[in-house]
Amino acid sequence: MLRTHNCGELRIGDTGKEVTLCGWLQRSRDLGGMTFIDLRDRYGITQLAFNMETNATLCEQARELGREYVLQVTGVVTERSNKNPKMPTGDIEIIAARITVLNKAQTPPFTIEQDTDGGDELRMKYRYLDIRRDMVRRNLELRHQMALETRKYLHEQDFIEVETPVLIKSTPEGARDFVVPSRMHAGQFYALPQSPQTFKQLLMVGGIDRYFQIVKCFRDEDLRADRQPEFTQIDCEMSFVTREDVLETFEGLAKHLFRAIKGVDNIRFDRMSYQDAIKYYGSDKPDTRFGMRFVELDHLVKNKGFKVFDNAELVAGICAGGCGGYSRKQLDELTRWVQRPQIGAKGLVYVKCNADGTYKSSADKFFDQDALKSWTAAFDAKPGDLLLIIAGEAAGTRNALGELRLEMGNRLGLRDPKSFACLWVTDFPLLEWDEETQRFYAMHHPFTSPVKEDMQLLDTEPGEVRANAYDMVINGVEIGGGSIRIFDRPLQEKMFEVLGFTPAEAQSQFGFLMNAFQYGAPPHGGVAFGFDRWCALFGGSETIRDYIAFPKNNAGRDVMIDSPSPISADQLKELHLKNI
């Protein structure tokens, strides 16, 4: 090794030792008689000291060294006169005796410190320099730990990790595939997996009754904020289980990770139906760190002459505790907030619950104090609270109110990133109707089993059928989702029929799976977690990019290596392709 120790481990007890360290020059201070250099590596920072009096040549050499130079330094560990209690190595410094420049460095394009002056694109282009920053490195370390603990837990639960192929087959159902032209088979393509779904089901057919994989998946989508064309899943599947078994097993995983990574031991999982999630939170991934559940007011407010309510499909509101003192200006601002196109409400009706037991509302003209009192009773509101009410088409109203609820949660400090509310959302609809293409799409995917009781509705009212599907939601973030799967051919055929596949299309795309079902497929179900997202949640960041070593930008480009990029005419020709 070119070093005897790293830059994070030396302590007062090491005083007197001769050591050799390697690392990057973080900072250097020239105090005339003395020069100090902070030497940085992955493990920490150690101060090097150079004394003009005792070793002028070396001290002058040290003064010539620039930021981010790679150094090898030998010297003696010495107690500092001026200790720095903020640094683990702050009690000591190295009195340098020898210094070797292992590599020089140009001035980096941004400062490599906690608070950097580099913009997003610049730091992406020089990602290898960004990774030197403590925070980015710690994110990668967190990710490593999360993967390690995930594997540990699942291994202990008898899961085995099986690698499924990356070069698979394109199936138009679902999101858009990335494809890979075949050189050996002209006109044919592989596709990159959007998930190992069918393969993990085949592993169940193959008797591997507990499978997992931490695996790259790919989606050629128009990138929304914080989506990546390649992302990582914790993909899992189990045989001979009910829904309850799956939920318990993966609650166990979550609890293990909370304990091992976050040191949190009191995690509890709630259950909520999709229907309730929408009705009370306006979202299929409610943030349940706080209440502020929706109250529907239709029965109290309709037919009182207020057209906004009378013409609405739904009138519903939330109670913002302690916000009764909001000024006119604040309420106007909040109204404009809900009217923004991203939120899409027409307006906002408020009721202030005054300290003296009276009410002040923007709908005073139509509702007297008794009427307003009946509303506040429905919310169980107290003096000093503020009701915020939205009316309109039901789905849009719930959505807008859901956003408003989150916003009020933020303003009231109810969304503490250090507290965690976990739940399973269950009983999703099996199918979604798409107006544009006039057909049903699978809400989860076509392999999800309907709930048993709803099975007979598949022919008559497919839109009403509930799926045996579930999402894990933590603090309003969908961390993962899964389902109990269809495992017999006739039901799978029926499902494809409902989705508008001809039997020939179903066979050509998914024949291998339906064939497999005929050779003794066990009942099975599973789940897939967004690993990047889970890391971000545990790391306390909202963007998954911070947890990916080499992410792509929002246009799907890797700006560091400049990819995608043109390929040679020869390469294209070998692939039997032409650019158009």
Taking CB under 8 A as the criterion, which residues in 176-235 touch a copy of itself? 176-192, 198-199, 202-203, 205-209, 216, 218, 220, 222, 229-230, 232
User: Which of the residues 106 through 125 are near a copy of itself (CB under 8 A)?
Assistant: 106, 108
8 A C-beta contact, residue 543 and residue 537: no
User: Which of the residues 37 through 96 are near a copy of itself (CB under 8 A)?
Assistant: 40-42, 68-70, 72
Sequence letter at residue 522: P
User: 445 vs 552, which CB is nearer to a copy of itself?
Assistant: 552
Taking phi over 0 as left and psi of -120 to 50 as alpha, with beta for the rest, 99 belongs to: beta
**470: which strand partners?**
426, 482
Residue 54 C-beta: closest distance to a copy of itself, Å? 27
Residues 374-403 as x/- pattern, contact with a copy of itself by CB under 8 A: ------------------------------
Residue 196 C-beta: closest distance to a copy of itself, Å? 10
- 100 contributes a contact to a copy of itself by CB under 8 A: no
**Distance, CA of 254 to CA of 235 (rounded, Å):** 14
Other C-beta atoms within 10 Å of 181: how many?
16
Residue 222 C-beta: closest distance to a copy of itself, Å? 8
- 411 contributes a contact to a copy of itself by CB under 8 A: no
- 548 contributes a contact to a copy of itself by CB under 8 A: yes
Q: Measuring CA to CA, how many Å separate 464 from each of 17, 84, 429, 474?
A: 75, 66, 7, 27
- Supply 523's token pair: 């009942």
**Distance, CA of 532 to CA of 508 (rounded, Å):** 33
User: 38 vs 130, which CB is nearer to a copy of itself?
Assistant: 130
**Distance, CA of 459 to CA of 494 (rounded, Å):** 9
Write out the DSSP string of 7-45: TT---GGGTT-EEEEEEEEEEEEE-SSEEEEEEEETTEE
User: 154 vs 479, which CB is nearer to a copy of itself?
Assistant: 154
- 29 contributes a contact to a copy of itself by CB under 8 A: no
Residues 464-503 as x/- pattern, contact with a copy of itself by CB under 8 A: -----------------------xx---------------
User: Which of the residues 500 through 519 are near a copy of itself (CB under 8 A)?
Assistant: 512, 516-519
3 state SS for 264-324: CCCCCEEEEEHHHHHHHHCCCCCCCCCCCCCEECHHHHCCCCCHHHHCCCEEEEEEECCCC
**Distance, CA of 178 to CA of 220 (rounded, Å):** 6
Spatial CB neighbours of 540, under 8 Å, sequence gap ≥ 6: 417
**Would you call 165 exposed, middle or buried from its count of C-beta atoms within 10 A (0-12, 13-18, 19+)?**
exposed
- 147 contributes a contact to a copy of itself by CB under 8 A: yes
- The region of 35-43, 286-294, 344-352, 370-378 touching a copy of itself under the rule CB under 8 A is 35-43
8 A C-beta contact, residue 21 and residue 7: yes
Residue 23 C-beta: closest distance to a copy of itself, Å? 8
User: 87 vs 394, which CB is nearer to a copy of itself?
Assistant: 87
User: Which of the residues 229 through 268 are near a copy of itself (CB under 8 A)?
Assistant: 229-230, 232, 239-242, 245
- 296 contributes a contact to a copy of itself by CB under 8 A: no
Residue 539 C-beta: closest distance to a copy of itself, Å? 15
User: 102 vs 355, which CB is nearer to a copy of itself?
Assistant: 102
User: 306 vs 487, which CB is nearer to a copy of itself?
Assistant: 487
**Distance, CA of 493 to CA of 503 (rounded, Å):** 7
